[in-house]
């Protein structure tokens, strides 16, 4: 990857394409769980590719590139979600879940319902806390992996997870969670 990135920085477009092929699964997984929508995930990845291409010459450290691109992707997901929240106030209706039971097996429905419940629980958190909770609980990344992706100290990640859980508990009790 290091050699490919050096080639890409020097203008080799094929090398950049290979880098994206190498990272595509990780990028898609992060974007899909963050946006919860295939089209939005692909839009975020596309914008990330554009930003990467535009800033390729400015990359200082070859070693931090994978984490940098993931951070760019998370920021693009935020932009899409914020834009979507301003224009779209639709919510998932419970009745729609029961219509899906005819089309999917029960375990898929249970997983979907579980994810919807999770996203409802984390509504009280700020964007940074939500991202970390999603990476930790949904994507099942370790705190060390999240630390590398977001370029935040691992102990800070652990503190944010703990604080997020406390906010959720207080929110469920009806208390003040700030």
pLDDT in tens, 55-103: 887 777 777 888 888 888 998 998 888 887 765 444 444 444 444 444 4
Phi, psi of 88, deg, nearest 5: -135, 115
Non-local (6+) Cβ contacts of 36 within 8 A are 115, 119
Residue whose pair of structure tokens reads 């200082």 in the numeric block: 60
The pLDDT tens digits of the residues spanning 29-60 come to: 889 888 888 889 899 999 998 888 888 877 77
On the question of pLDDT at 2 being above 70, the answer is yes
* Architecture (CATH level 2) of domain 92-178: Orthogonal Bundle (1.10)
State how far the Cα of 89 lies from the Cα of 145, in Å rounded to an integer.
Answer: 33
| Domain boundaries, given as residue ranges, for the chain | 1-90, 92-178
Residues 45 and 28: beta-carbon distance below 8 Å: yes
Is the model more confident about 158 or about 8? 158
pLDDT of amino acid 15: 81
pLDDT of amino acid 173: 81
pLDDT of amino acid 153: 94
Nearest Cα to Cα of residue 69 among 126, 164, 151: 151
pLDDT of amino acid 161: 93
State how far the Cα of 113 lies from the Cα of 102, in Å rounded to an integer.
Answer: 15
pLDDT of amino acid 36: 85
Is the model more confident about 108 or about 171? 171
Three-class secondary structure assignment of 89-119: CCCCCHHHHHHHCCCCCHHHHHHHHHHHHHH
Non-local (6+) Cβ contacts of 33 within 8 A are 134, 135, 138, 139
For the residues 102-114, what does the mean pLDDT come to?
49
pLDDT of amino acid 87: 58
**How many residues in total does the chain contain?**
178
State how far the Cα of 117 lies from the Cα of 142, in Å rounded to an integer.
Answer: 22
CA triple 168-174-178, angle to 5 deg = 55
The pLDDT tens digits of the residues spanning 127-165 come to: 888 888 888 887 778 999 888 888 899 999 999 999 999
CATH tag, 1-90: 1.10.1740.10
pLDDT of amino acid 93: 42
């Amino acid at each position: 990857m290091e050699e490919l990135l050096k080639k890409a920085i020097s203008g080799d477009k094929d090398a950049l394409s290979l880098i994206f092929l190498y990272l595509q699964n990780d990028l898609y997984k992060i974007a899909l769980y963050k946006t919860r929508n295939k089209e939005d995930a692909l839009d975020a990845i596309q914008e990330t590719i554009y930003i990467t291409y535009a800033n390729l010459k400015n990359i200082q450290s070859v070693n931090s590139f994978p984490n940098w691109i993931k951070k760019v992707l998370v920021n693009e997901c935020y932009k899409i979600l914020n834009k979507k929240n301003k224009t779209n106030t639709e919510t998932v209706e419970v009745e729609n879940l029961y219509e899906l039971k005819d089309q999917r097996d029960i375990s898929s429905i249970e997983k979907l319902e579980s994810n919807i419940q999770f996203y409802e629980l984390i509504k009280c958190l700020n964007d940074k806390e939500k991202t970390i909770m999603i990476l930790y609980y949904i994507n099942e990344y370790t705190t060390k992996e999240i630390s590398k992706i977001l370029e935040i100290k691992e102990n800070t990640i652990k503190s944010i997870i703990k604080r997020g859980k406390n906010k959720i508990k207080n929110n469920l009790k009806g208390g003040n969670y700030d």
